[in-house]
A and B are shown apart, each in its own frame.
Chain A
Amino acid sequence: MLNSMSRWVGKQVRLKLNAWRVVEGVLQGYDSYLNLLLVEAMEVKNEGNQRINIGTCFVRGNNISVIETLDSTKI
């Protein structure tokens, strides 16, 4: 399954984390714990009405429930 993650490197993704957090950014890297490295990251709040810029960040894998690709990638 992790092989398919390599297809998303460089693409815009939306992460659904615990505590109803939603983060969007460009996937730069990942590991087998599903820790992610995102660049141009931003937190999306209030159902998309508020975006907070984060920049480059590390997301710990155990918090991630959903990874959604925003760029269309045929898999």
Chain B
Amino acid sequence: MAAPNPSTLLPLELVDKCIGSRIHIIMKSDKEIVGTLLGFDDFVNMVLEDVTEYEATPEGRRITQLDQILLNGNHITMLVPGGEVAD
């Protein structure tokens, strides 16, 4: 998938630059995941570690800690490199 013109930066190139650093993932639902990106594939399935999961539930925000996960790319809406997003 070549870039259409030289000044365009491919979206997946940004994700690739993020490998090894913290990334903030916003899902289709009201769930957000922050973790260290170990890798991803063409479908934007992602392998993350040291993961914190933020969920908006009727009781309020729930935070869970997970070690290493494979995140299904189907439900991902946005990726923000850096892992620090104000909410």
How far is A37 from B12 in the complex, measured between Cα atoms in Å?
Answer: 8
**A29 with B29, Cβ < 8 A, contacts A58-B78, A63-B77 known:** no
Chain B residues whose CB sits within 8 angstroms of the CB of A54 once the complex forms? 78, 80, 85
B residues 60-87 with Cβ under 8 Å of A? 73-74, 76-82, 85-87
- Encode A11-31 as 1/0 by CB contact (under 8 A) with B: 000000111010100001111
Chain A residues whose CB sits within 8 angstroms of the CB of B87 once the complex forms? 52
- Size category of the A interface is 20 to 34
17 CB < 8 A contacts A-B: A5-B4, A6-B4, A28-B9, A29-B3, A31-B11, A35-B12, A37-B10, A37-B11, A37-B14, A52-B85, A54-B80, A55-B82, A58-B12, A58-B15, A59-B77, A62-B74, A63-B77
Interface of B toward A, CB cutoff 8 Å: 1, 3-5, 7-15, 28-29, 44, 73-74, 76-82, 85-87
